């Protein structure tokens, strides 16, 4: 009867620790998700800043094809689109509602390549070198991009990244402290059982083994539950905003899931090990005074 009661108590403690650890890992996993989402979002923003390569009016079809091939071979180009003089005029007419060629008597626009560069090249220093290289080509009249916007985007991304890293470090510390307290309370309630095992001659390794196994089991189950909650939340968000797929892809979800599992195993193992060591070093008299 007493054995069943003790087993029920331990089961209740384990379930409580499982729920507490799961909630903390959800918090930690969400921070990891935000960090990687912010990185992908910054790349997405940078790679959607347009660089217009304006072409000379006397450029031939063959020269246009040669320049197109040259741009495709450049490592900084993520994507590009050719816009003819007629297409540029049509687009402007659609946006302004008027046709400039009617009162000017000619098409004032030039053909161009609308280029989107890779995120690592989306800064004024790199674009300045790219502009110089392209302008050395006879077929290119000018290269236009929004320098102020580029500076503003990069500055804001750097500032946001620093803030996010500080928050991530803070929440990692809080998560470790919360899980540590949960594990310590579980072991604290069994400190007299640990002492009894010591008195009958059990080695420290023998005493630690079941506790460490339970700690690892706690970490695995908590991580699985936390991953399920986080992944469920992501898929729920995707039903409302499909564009989330551009910044939260399968790779990010996999990294977050593995990070939660690694944190769960590592933290519960270390907390269990060090909490056990504390009580293993105590004498019987000391146990009554804590």
- pLDDT tens for residues 107-119? 778 889 999 999 8
In this prediction, residue 4 carries a pLDDT of 46
Position 254 confidence tier, pLDDT thresholds 50, 70, 90: very high
Report the side by side order of strands in the sheet with 77-83: 77-83, 112-117, 50-55, 140-144
Distance, in Å, from the CA atom of 183 to the CA atom of 217, rounded to the nearest integer, reads 12
Domain with CATH 3.30.70.3040 in the chain: 50-145
In this prediction, residue 8 carries a pLDDT of 41
DSSP summary character for residue 225: H
Domain 50-145 CATH assignment equals 3.30.70.3040 = yes
pLDDT above 90 (res 226): yes
- pLDDT tens for residues 167-210? 878 877 887 787 778 777 777 777 777 778 877 777 877 878 88
β partners of residue 144: 52
Which of 138, 143, 148, 150 minimizes the C-alpha distance to 80? Answer: 143
DSSP summary character for residue 222: H
pTM for the model stands at: 0.68
Instruction: Name the residue with higher pLDDT: 105 or 43.
Output: 43
**Checking phi first, is residue 201 left (phi over 0); if not, alpha (psi -120 to 50) or beta?**
left
Beta-carbon-side half-sphere exposure of residue 159 (alpha carbons within 13 Å): 6
In this prediction, residue 134 carries a pLDDT of 87
Distance, in Å, from the CA atom of 88 to the CA atom of 115, rounded to the nearest integer, reads 15
Angle in degrees, CA 148, 149, 151, rounded to 5: 65
Position 285 confidence tier, pLDDT thresholds 50, 70, 90: low
In this prediction, residue 232 carries a pLDDT of 92
Mean pLDDT, rounded, for 129-158: 82
Backbone angles phi and psi of 144, in degrees to 5: -125, 130
């Amino acid at each position: 009867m007493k054995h069943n009661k003790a087993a029920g108590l331990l089961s209740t403690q384990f379930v409580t620790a499982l729920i507490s650890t799961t909630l903390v890992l959800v918090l930690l996993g969400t921070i990891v998700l935000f960090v990687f989402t912010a990185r992908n979002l910054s790349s997405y923003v940078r790679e959607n800043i347009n660089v217009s390569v304006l072409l000379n009016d006397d450029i031939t079809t063959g020269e246009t094809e040669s320049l197109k091939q040259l741009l495709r071979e450049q490592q900084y180009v993520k994507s590009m689109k050719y816009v003819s003089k007629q297409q540029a005029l049509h687009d402007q007419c659609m946006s302004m509602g008027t046709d400039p060629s009617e009162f000017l008597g000619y098409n004032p626009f030039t053909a161009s390549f609308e280029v989107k560069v890779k995120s690592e090249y989306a800064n004024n220093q790199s674009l300045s070198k790219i502009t110089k290289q392209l302008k050395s080509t006879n077929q290119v009249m000018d290269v236009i991009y929004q320098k102020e916007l580029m500076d503003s985007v990069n500055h804001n991304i750097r500032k946001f990244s620093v803030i996010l890293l500080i928050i991530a470090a803070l929440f990692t510390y809080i998560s470790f402290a919360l899980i540590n307290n949960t594990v310590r309370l579980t072991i604290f309630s069994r400190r007299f059982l640990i002492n009894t095992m010591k008195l009958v001659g059990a080695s420290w390794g023998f005493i630690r083994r079941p506790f460490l196994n339970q700690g690892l089991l706690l970490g695995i189950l908590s991580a699985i539950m936390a991953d399920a909650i986080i992944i469920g939340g992501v898929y729920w968000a995707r039903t409302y905003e499909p564009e989330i797929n551009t910044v939260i892809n399968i790779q990010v979800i996999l990294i977050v899931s593995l990070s939660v599992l690694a944190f769960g195993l590592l933290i519960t193992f270390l907390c269990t090990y060090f909490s056990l060591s504390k009580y293993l070093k105590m004498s019987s008299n000391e146990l009554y005074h804590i």
